[in-house]
Amino acid sequence: MGINYCLSCGAPLEVRDIDGTPRKACMAEGCNFVHWGNYSVGVGALVVRNEKVLLVRRAQEPGKGYWTNPGGYIEQHELIHETIRREVLEEAGVVAEVRNIVAVRDYPRNIHNVYIAFAMDYVAGEPVPDGVEVDAAGFYSLQEMESMNVAGFTKWLVDVALHGQGEGLKEDKEPIVQFDGYGLFRI
């Protein structure tokens, strides 16, 4: 299923060549709407405490029954580092603060997904599942994870969390030029 009508004025869309790429664009005079595609941005937390990584067990699809790191999708008007703090608290009852961005997954498909993984510092709280999205939560060692149904991508992220090299991208809290409402990260 695709988009057939303008999200600005409701007129029918037609396929046009825009900068060498066929895109759906509005046919109405004076309307400049172009449908650039379907995208989603997800975030994930890598919270390590005493050499154990915070994991949650999915209670819903996708991934029901798999252990994953806490995470979710950003809201339209929410900065990504606020999203991940919120998701960790909602899903696992743990307070954690962003340290840096340590991994990015680019997954082009019908809805192009970009996933940003954050290393986070544990602050407070014992893992408690929300009972809706997740039905179990806890900190687990690599040895404990061997007998758990850990999702493949999460296994890769756990390796990043425990064995990653480098400092990743950190939030630039004092940029040389002020950009109100922006989340800026740099090496």
Return the CATH number at 151. 3.90.79.10
58 and 95 part of one domain: yes
- Residue numbers of the domain that contains 69: 39-163
Domain count, the chain: 2
- Exposure b/e, 28-40, CB count within 10 A at least 16 = b: eeeeebebeeeee
Instruction: Band the pLDDT of 179: cuts 50, 70, 90.
Output: confident
Compare 1 and 62 and report the one with higher pLDDT: 62
> Mean per-residue pLDDT for 153-164?
94
Query: 102 and 53, same structural domain?
Result: yes
**170 within domain boundaries:** no
Distance, in Å, from the CA atom of 172 to the CA atom of 159, rounded to the nearest integer, reads: 26
Same domain, 109 and 19: no
Strands (E), 89-149: 95-107, 112-124, 134-140
Asked if residue 145 is part of any domain, the answer here is yes
Q: What is the average per-residue pLDDT within 136-148?
A: 98
> Average pLDDT of 99-104?
95
For residues 23 and 16, the answer to whether their CB atoms sit within 8 Å is yes
Q: Please give the radius of gyration of the chain, using alpha carbons only, rounded to the nearest integer.
A: 20
